[in-house]
């Protein structure tokens, strides 16, 4: 299944282009997902044991356990992250021939975990194209109250003053999306193996996890295979350039060993 195509309708591609996000049911079945979930969960237990208690973390630290580029270290996760099926979906939605990996991250929102503040991912990325997309896939069923990913539709075209995630940015953007009356869209529930895809500039957030269950999510970020490294505009982008683009120079194609084409 990971090597076969997920059939997309023209209407679904148009919806993604229009709204900057889309929900797709059963991108993989729970059965296929099972061994990969196991591999990703192994990381989370080790990682969680090293974290401060949740009450001692700041807003961003309370939002989730953030574990990045697991594909580099784990052959099972590598097989999952580099799956042709995901790359094909990302390329079809973006309307490009092929995509490359930017990086992966597991985002586990703990029971009692706080909200994910409103933000645009691409503020953090030194990539010279808006043709970027994140696949956000729950590894467990997500019920109401567990921290569903929430989008402000159409905001991939919005230019906000540059700001990193903080309590101030959360307050400002929450007010902004309300004032501008962007449609706020979230699934009520998701099954393990369903996925949402959102563009790098689409505003999104998530409420806290009020349940007793860990919200286990795996994400994979893709970019147009033709993307170039951009001159970093802030310290976060410079850190990303060094870490996720192997330090490749601005102006160069983003084809470092950490950014394989998915095919
Ligand atoms: O999982 C979350 O709560 C936030 C996810 C997110 O911001 C992203 O995948 O870009």
Q: Is the dihedral of CA 118, 195, 110, 66 positive or negative?
A: negative
Report which ligand 1 atom has the smallest distance to the Cα of 119.
7
Judge if the beta carbon of residue 148 lies within 6 A of ligand 1.
no
In eight-state DSSP terms, residue 87 is H
Average pLDDT score over residue span 10-38: 98
Q: What is the CATH number of the domain that holds 190?
A: 2.60.120.620
Please give the distance, rounded to the nearest whole angstrom, from the Cα atom of residue 31 to the centre of ligand 1.
Answer: 24
Over residues 58-74, the pLDDT tens digits come to: 998 999 999 999 999 99
Q: Which atom of ligand 1 is nearest to the CA of 147?
A: 3
Contact 110, 209 (CB under 8 A): yes
Mean pLDDT calculated for residue range 88-93? 98
Contact 122 CB / ligand 1 (< 6 Å): no
Confidence of residue 43 (pLDDT cuts 50, 70, 90): confident
Range in 12-26, 40-54, 205-219 the model is least confident about: 40-54
**What distance in angstroms lies between residue 151's CA and the mean position of ligand 1's atoms?**
10
How large is the average pLDDT for residues 35-53?
Answer: 91
Tokens of 89: 């979906």
| Overall number of domains in the chain | 1
Q: For residue 257, is it within any domain?
A: no
173 membership: H or E segment, kind and range: helix 167-179
In-domain check, residue 50: yes
Distances 229 to 36, 49, 73, 237 between C-alpha atoms, Å:
31, 35, 24, 10
Residue 110's pLDDT is what? 95
Q: Is 15 helix (H, G, I), strand (E, B) or coil?
A: helix
Query: Mean pLDDT across the chain, nearest whole number?
Result: 97
Classify residue 45: in a domain, yes or no: yes
Residue 15 token pair? 């919806």
Q: At what angle do helices 84-94 and 10-19 cross, to 10 degrees?
A: 70
Of ligand 1's listed atoms, the one at least distance from the Cα of 63 is 3
Residue 136, ligand 1, Cβ within 6 A: yes
In short, whether 216's Cβ falls inside 6 Å of ligand 1 is no
pLDDT, position 247: 98
pLDDT digits (tens, 9 = 90+) for 92-133: 999 999 999 999 999 999 999 999 999 999 999 999 999 999
Question: How many CB atoms sit inside 10 A of residue 61's CB?
Answer: 15
In a domain, 178, yes or no: yes
**Residue 218 in contact with ligand 1 by CB distance below 6 A:** no
pLDDT at 113: 95
**What are φ and ψ of residue 39, in 5° steps?**
-65, -40
Domain containing residue 168? 22-242
Domain contains 151: yes
Counting every residue written for the chain, the total comes to 263
- pLDDT confidence of residue 46: 85
Tell how far the Cα of 20 is from the centroid of ligand 1, in angstroms: 14
Look at residue 15 and tell me if it is in a domain: no
In a domain, 2, yes or no: no
Percent of the chain with pLDDT over 90: 96
In a domain, 7, yes or no: no
pTM value is 0.97
Is the predicted pLDDT of residue 248 greater than 90, yes or no? yes
The whole-number average pLDDT for the span 134-158 is 98
* Closest by Cα among 135, 144, 139, 133 to 186: 144
């Amino acid at each position: 299944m990971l090597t076969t195509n997920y059939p997309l309708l023209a209407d679904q591609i148009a919806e993604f282009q229009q709204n900057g996000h889309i929900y797709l049911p059963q991108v993989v079945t729970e059965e296929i997902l099972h061994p990969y979930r196991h591999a990703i969960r192994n990381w989370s237990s080790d990682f969680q044991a090293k974290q401060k208690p949740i009450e001692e973390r700041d807003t961003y630290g309370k939002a989730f356990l953030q574990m990045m580029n697991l594909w580099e270290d784990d052959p099972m996760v590598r097989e999952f992250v580099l799956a042709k099926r995901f790359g094909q979906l990302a390329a079809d939605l973006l309307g490009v021939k092929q995509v490359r990996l930017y990086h992966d991250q597991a985002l586990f929102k703990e029971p009692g975990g706080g909200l994910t503040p409103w933000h645009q991912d691409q503020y953090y990325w030194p990539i010279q194209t808006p043709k970027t997309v994140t696949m956000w896939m729950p590894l467990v069923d997500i019920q109401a109250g567990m921290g569903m990913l929430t989008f402000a539709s159409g905001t991939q075209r919005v230019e906000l003053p540059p700001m990193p995630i903080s309590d101030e940015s959360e307050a400002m953007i929450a007010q902004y999306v309300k004032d501008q009356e962007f449609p706020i869209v979230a699934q009520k529930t998701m099954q393990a193996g369903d996925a949402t895809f959102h563009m790098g500039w689409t505003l999104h957030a998530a409420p806290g996890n009020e349940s007793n269950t860990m919200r286990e999510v795996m994400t994979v970020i893709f970019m147009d295979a033709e993307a170039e490294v951009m001159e970093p505009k802030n310290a976060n982008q410079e850190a990303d350039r060094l870490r996720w683009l192997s330090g490749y120079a601005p102006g160069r194609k983003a084809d470092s060993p950490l950014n394989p084409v998915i095919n």
